[in-house]
Structure 1
Amino acid sequence: MALPDDLPTVTLTGTYTHPDGSPMKGSVSVTPTPGKVVAADSGLTIQGRAKQKIGNDGRVTLTVLATDAPGINPANFTYAVKIAFPDAPGDEFTIELPAAAPNVQLPAITPASPSDGDYVVITGPEGPEGPAGPAGADGEPGPAGADGSNADAEQYTDDALATEITRANAAYDPAGSATAARTAAINTAAGDATTKANNAQAAAISTAAADATAKANAAQAAAISAASSDATTKAGNAQAAAVSAAATSAASLYLPNAIQTVDAYLAGATPSSPRFFGHRGGGMVRPEHTLVGYRACAAMGFALEVSVNVDASGELWCLHDLTLDRTTYQTGALNTYTTEEVGQAVLTNGRTLLGPGWTDQRMVPLRQVLDEFLGRIPILLEPKGNDAVVPTQTLLDTYYPHAPRSVVWKAHIGTLSLPWAKSRGYRTWVYLDSNTTDAAMDAKDSLVDYWGVSTTFTDLRITQVKDRGKPVFAWPVYRRSQVARLTGLGVVGMMSSDPRYVSTNLPQRTFSRWGLAVKESGGTPTLDYDTAYALVFGEGADAGWVSINALPNQSYGLGTYSPIQGSAAGYRIAFDMKYKVLPGATVHGGYYFGKASDDPYRFTTANATGGYHLVMRASGDMQLYRHTSGVTTGTQIGSTIATTAPVADTAMSFQIDVTPTTVEARRTDGTGWTTGPIADTTYRGGYHGLSNGSITDLATRPYWRNLIITQL
């Protein structure tokens, strides 16, 4: 199979012969030195060796991937080339094959072995050119002539001197009286010339030899140094490339692609289409920061908010507080417990907030959460204690290099960890407090992707933060009325302790199962995460009954059954109520309904939205009240109905009928106890709930069971 057309290649060619020209046999192989090369865009992995035999004509051709091909990891890798012959030494060397040179001759890039020893060629002085004479006949080969330039020079000098002597004798000294003098002078000159020539030759040879030796030594040292440096550099590059390739390969094997990235989850988030995050794993309906909570949120498609702290052994655990006091049966700081102690002896106490039907849950290590959910759903991750920050960073750097795709680094505005997060490519969610100044926000603005505001902030402050131009997420959100307010202010993200409830506007059921003693989604106490305002599930003889163990004038919203979906004729609310201990005759408990919103409803309180209130007094009087928004007192509608006084720890049964034009309340454990249809159309909202009414002693609080919503 050929390489994809969009990847550049290089073709290697070469011809190999014996000294007599006959073709050689052998092979050429090319192997990527990282061991594995990955082309991410093509989904191609290249590894092993490419091998080609030398043909019968001594030629070989081999085409391979260019080492600087785009999209290749590691980038700019190298090849190990091996040329092997059965009857001659081969060659092994490492090369780069860039795409800029698509055709490469192997002999041109194969290192050649240097010859042994040094040599120097010295050439003597050249004599004058004589006149050309006629060509003579070829004679018998003579004895070997002089092989040095000095002998030629001496012969030439002797011949010239003899000619000069003959000419001088004939022209100037026929008597021959000067012959001896001239002969002596010439001999002296010739001897001196010979000596100087010999000395010059010896000096030239010595100088040339010394220079050649020095240059050879210098060249050898430079070559060795360059080769060593080059080898070190290439080895370092190869090691770095191998480590990078191994990390990339490991990450790809662990999680080839994030199923849900942060950017994909938040794409298109607007106030009309906000995104929801399971605050503490949905801690108002499941034990907070536990696997059961995280799994439920992920199964519904909500992002997770995960807080972590570190134990005495350095293990990171999912926990909001620095201590175990609030959420477990143990006490004291987490960082005083070992990993073994936390794993074996610490259980969460979600039963106190969420009902005795819950099974105690074990705490969960951060690594278990990351292994199960990373890449499957976005995670907002926050180290809560200062001592947990570095261990969290180290864990992510070492074992989860792909985490920035699906993890948001969550931190308070005062944190020092934001530069680390941004340098790794994490998105950041930075939450504010009531004392955060604009100057503090300006200083951190370049490190922030999303701002966080509390639901306790004023509308003005939330608007100011939104107007800075970055997405804003709010926390903690557990009511639909909070979502309506926040989206109206431009908030696009909801950190919710009950995301299933607040992300819809539909009821989840029409009848209670309080006998299971498990808190329902949509249950809205006055305060979230506070056991003092939680719904109390009866046990033993009171199994199936619920109550509100808080004062004064507390209520509990039943968003699970809201908004009520009536027929064209209206709807009916039916339930049982009792007092285990009877209060004073005029004291009452009851039920509220007709509200347009799930904001808190409290008797004798100026509520945000209005509605109706059924009261049952300990004297037996049953009444209906209408409460106007912003007004503390209610207005009775219809007549007071005198029924039989309640009996301690004995059930009473009630029905409330709401039609498009009337409201009617009945006590049905007797006969004739009804207000009759009262013409009142003031409130037709679908939100309702339980009310402690006017009780002042928790021992006398009302209990409810068997809630059923039906259409008329």
Structure 2
Amino acid sequence: MGGSGETADGLGRRAFLGLAAGAVLGAAGCAPCPGSAGSPRPGTGILPAATAAAAFVAEGAVAGPGTTGPHTIGTLLSAPHFFVAHRGSGDNWPEHTMRAYRQSADAGLKAIEVSVSATADGVLVCHHDLTTARLTGAGLTIAASSAASLARLRNDARPWLGPATPLEPIPLLTEVLDAFAASHVIFLEDKQGTNAERILALLENYPDARQHIVWKQPASSAGHAQASADGYTTWGYVTRADYPRLAALAPLVDLLGIHHTAPEDRILELVDSGKPVIAWEVRRRSEHLRLRELGVRGFICSNIRHVLHQESPRAEDLFAEGLRGAGDLPWKADGGWDEQPAFTGGALRLSNREHAGYLLGSMAGAVDAADWELAFELRWPDGPPPAGASGGAGLAFGQPTDASYRRDPGPAAPGYELDVGADGRITLSRRDPGAATAVELAAGNSPAPAPGEWLAFVVSVAPRSLTVHRLEGGTPRWSLSTDDARYGGGWFSLLKNYDAGPPVEFRRVHLRAAAGSERCANVG
């Protein structure tokens, strides 16, 4: 920072307050905190988990604890809104496994979604892809492989859910039907599109199948007519290629499906058909609320523990445990498993090919206090990004929802961004709704990090101010402050603010109530 009033470290006194080692924040007699006048910061807006979870049960969207059913298509559709476990809720448990289906049922889901393919010897197995490469690492084509060869494989969701995730076998359709065909609704899809007769014949072994099985395929699939003729409820989903002919497709099925990213006018066109519309694959609370406001009734959800508020927020990250927390999501969660950062040595590593964000939704709302702090550490294990990079790394905080977030030019969700540059410069900015650029609130220099050096930070959020501390030996050494109190949302994301370049790692992310009331550092 240039100009007068800089310390020996290049820290401007007005916004970047040099703190002597051992200084005690909040000591009696400190100078008035910057910007203590004005309206206080709004609250996080996050309901207590138990309150929100109970609301879903009260409206019938999910079953209450201990409720065993039976849940039928009729009872599912009788509720104003309902949830289906997408692949058994693959953001919480290994997708399309008996463990995922059972956990979803235990969580109160009345319906699960199951994909089916036939092996070379005619055995029906539950697997989303037509090959086993993504989930098992073995590149077998299901249609060309025996059931015995698939039985030796294990679904491996560790790249998506974390290294502590257990391996699970590929289930047979008969296993799933035996467990759930009489107690839950099953949205069942013939992935190969050639097994309708075989599947329908198998279902005849389950007396109440027509009350529990929804035939699922693309809306244009000929299989719907066959399933409907056999007395089954049909759900047809549409893709982008179908948008010009939605009016022609809607009469072909009983229930309609559309992806959550579809344009609003296309969703509304299906809603206006009068048939129940079910959207997939819902991962975020903000996605659920948007769809619900548009008139969507059903939500095929891959992150039920988060969307349904079934876990209380955590005050610390789960990186050292090797598990992705419910609500923790990469910026492009729909982009495939390659988007998930790696867990390494108790840290989370962002090595995306482009700049990215990582939502720590499992921690949002963990602290209910007017004054709270967010602590974290970051480092560049292989050295910092090159000079001239578009940014460094840091976090976005104060966002009002769990919507996907990364540092981009153009309009963004309101809140704040903290960027730590490779040269040690720290910048605190504010993003306003609809604004093309961020408003810089405070910035200043601190020592450039050495390759592999962990940098520790604490963001202190008070009703009328924000303060960012970089620590040295556990003590605030460099700090910047602003009296901005515009946003108070409880959501935050870790940020990698440059394309390509070296990976950045985060660890020891921690939320806590501040030790005292609104505090500031003495100005030396």
TM-score, scaled relative to structure 2 = 0.80
For residues 146 and 372 of structure 2, what CA distance do their matches in structure 1 show? 57
Q: What SS is found at the alignment partner of 1:582?
A: coil
**What aligned pairs does 1:169-188 form with structure 2 within 5 A after superposition?**
none
What is the CA deviation profile of residues 486-543 of structure 1, one whole-angstrom value per residue up to 9, with x for unaligned ones? 11111111111111211239853221121121222111212225122102100xxxx1
In structure 2, relative to structure 1, the CA distance for the partners of 1:666 and 1:585 (3 Å cut) is farther
**What aligned pairs does 1:46-125 form with structure 2 within 5 A after superposition?**
none
What is the CA deviation profile of residues 419-474 of structure 1, one whole-angstrom value per residue up to 9, with x for unaligned ones? 332334322211112232575644661x5222111112110110111011111110
Structure 2 equivalent of residue 562 of structure 1: 364
For residues 468 and 317 of structure 1, what CA distance do their matches in structure 2 show? 34
For residues 194 and 247 of structure 2, what CA distance do their matches in structure 1 show? 24
Contact 2:398 2:416 in 1 (8 A): yes
**Structure 1: unaligned runs, 5 residues or longer:** 1-256
For residues 200 and 261 of structure 2, what CA distance do their matches in structure 1 show? 31
**What aligned pairs does 1:285-304 form with structure 2 within 5 A after superposition?**
285-302=92-109, 303-304=111-112
In structure 2, relative to structure 1, the CA distance for the partners of 1:679 and 1:304 (3 Å cut) is same
For residues 600 and 442 of structure 1, what CA distance do their matches in structure 2 show? 34
For residues 229 and 357 of structure 2, what CA distance do their matches in structure 1 show? 49
Q: Which amino acid aligns with 1:365?
A: L
Which of the pair has more CA radius of gyration? 1
**What aligned pairs does 1:424-503 form with structure 2 within 5 A after superposition?**
424-436=230-242, 441-442=247-248, 445=251, 447-503=252-308
1:533 corresponds to 2:344: no
Q: Which amino acid aligns with 1:292?
A: R
Question: Paired residues, what number?
Answer: 441
What is the CA deviation profile of residues 176-225 of structure 1, one whole-angstrom value per residue up to 9, with x for unaligned ones? xxxxxxxxxxxxxxxxxxxxxxxxxxxxxxxxxxxxxxxxxxxxxxxxxx
1:604 corresponds to 2:399: no
1:331 corresponds to 2:134: no
1:575 corresponds to 2:386: no
Structure 2 equivalent of residue 130 of structure 1: none
**Which has the bigger relative contact order, CA under 8 A and spacing at least 6?**
2
Q: What SS is found at the alignment partner of 1:387?
A: coil
**Structure 2: unaligned runs, 5 residues or longer:** 1-67, 515-524
For residues 435 and 503 of structure 2, what CA distance do their matches in structure 1 show? 24
Q: Which amino acid aligns with 2:215?
A: W
Structure 1 equivalent of residue 325 of structure 2: 520
In structure 2, relative to structure 1, the CA distance for the partners of 1:391 and 1:593 (3 Å cut) is same
Structure 2 equivalent of residue 616 of structure 1: 420
For residues 157 and 227 of structure 2, what CA distance do their matches in structure 1 show? 33
Contact 1:566 1:710 in 2 (8 A): no
Contact 1:312 1:338 in 2 (8 A): yes
Q: What SS is found at the alignment partner of 1:326?
A: helix
For residues 214 and 169 of structure 2, what CA distance do their matches in structure 1 show? 25
Contact 1:309 1:385 in 2 (8 A): yes
Structure 2 equivalent of residue 125 of structure 1: none
In structure 2, relative to structure 1, the CA distance for the partners of 1:441 and 1:618 (3 Å cut) is same
Structure 1 equivalent of residue 42 of structure 2: none
Structure 2 equivalent of residue 263 of structure 1: 74
Shift in Å, 1:558: 1.0
**What aligned pairs does 1:353-372 form with structure 2 within 5 A after superposition?**
353-372=160-179
Among 633, 656, 664, the residue aligned to 2:467: 664
What is the CA deviation profile of residues 569-616 of structure 1, one whole-angstrom value per residue up to 9, with x for unaligned ones? 232111121110222356511111000112222223335412211111
Structure 1 equivalent of residue 124 of structure 2: 316
For residues 485 and 622 of structure 1, what CA distance do their matches in structure 2 show? 35
Q: What SS is found at the alignment partner of 1:605?
A: coil
For residues 246 and 438 of structure 2, what CA distance do their matches in structure 1 show? 46
In structure 2, relative to structure 1, the CA distance for the partners of 1:505 and 1:327 (3 Å cut) is closer
In structure 2, relative to structure 1, the CA distance for the partners of 1:654 and 1:342 (3 Å cut) is same
Structure 1 equivalent of residue 188 of structure 2: 381
Shift in Å, 1:566: 2.9
What is the CA deviation profile of residues 227-258 of structure 1, one whole-angstrom value per residue up to 9, with x for unaligned ones? xxxxxxxxxxxxxxxxxxxxxxxxxxxxxx96
Structure 2 equivalent of residue 85 of structure 1: none
1:552 corresponds to 2:367: no
- Measured on the aligned residues, the alpha-carbon RMSD in Å equals 2.1
1:423 corresponds to 2:226: no
Contact 1:286 1:292 in 2 (8 A): yes
In structure 2, relative to structure 1, the CA distance for the partners of 1:368 and 1:645 (3 Å cut) is same
Q: What SS is found at the alignment partner of 1:263?
A: helix
What is the CA deviation profile of residues 343-371 of structure 1, one whole-angstrom value per residue up to 9, with x for unaligned ones? 12x22231122222122221111110111
Contact 1:605 1:631 in 2 (8 A): no
Q: Which amino acid aligns with 2:414?
A: G
Identical positions, percent? 29
In structure 2, relative to structure 1, the CA distance for the partners of 1:652 and 1:306 (3 Å cut) is same
In structure 2, relative to structure 1, the CA distance for the partners of 1:455 and 1:701 (3 Å cut) is same
Structure 2 equivalent of residue 38 of structure 1: none
Q: What SS is found at the alignment partner of 1:573?
A: strand
Q: Which amino acid aligns with 2:167?
A: D
Contact 2:250 2:273 in 1 (8 A): no
Give the stretch that moved more between structures: 646-655 or 582-591: 582-591
Q: Which amino acid aligns with 2:119?
A: D
For residues 591 and 290 of structure 1, what CA distance do their matches in structure 2 show? 35
Structure 1 equivalent of residue 4 of structure 2: none
For residues 499 and 458 of structure 2, what CA distance do their matches in structure 1 show? 22
Q: What SS is found at the alignment partner of 1:704?
A: strand
In structure 2, relative to structure 1, the CA distance for the partners of 1:633 and 1:515 (3 Å cut) is same
Contact 1:589 1:701 in 2 (8 A): no
Contact 1:603 1:694 in 2 (8 A): no
Structure 2 equivalent of residue 92 of structure 1: none
Q: Which amino acid aligns with 1:374?
A: A
Contact 1:258 1:375 in 2 (8 A): no
1:644 corresponds to 2:455: no
Structure 2 equivalent of residue 70 of structure 1: none
What is the CA deviation profile of residues 390-433 of structure 1, one whole-angstrom value per residue up to 9, with x for unaligned ones? 22111112x11311122211121111222332334322211112
Structure 1 equivalent of residue 6 of structure 2: none
Q: Which amino acid aligns with 2:437?
A: T
In structure 2, relative to structure 1, the CA distance for the partners of 1:526 and 1:571 (3 Å cut) is same
1:282 corresponds to 2:83: no
For residues 578 and 667 of structure 1, what CA distance do their matches in structure 2 show? 13
Q: Which amino acid aligns with 1:548?
A: L
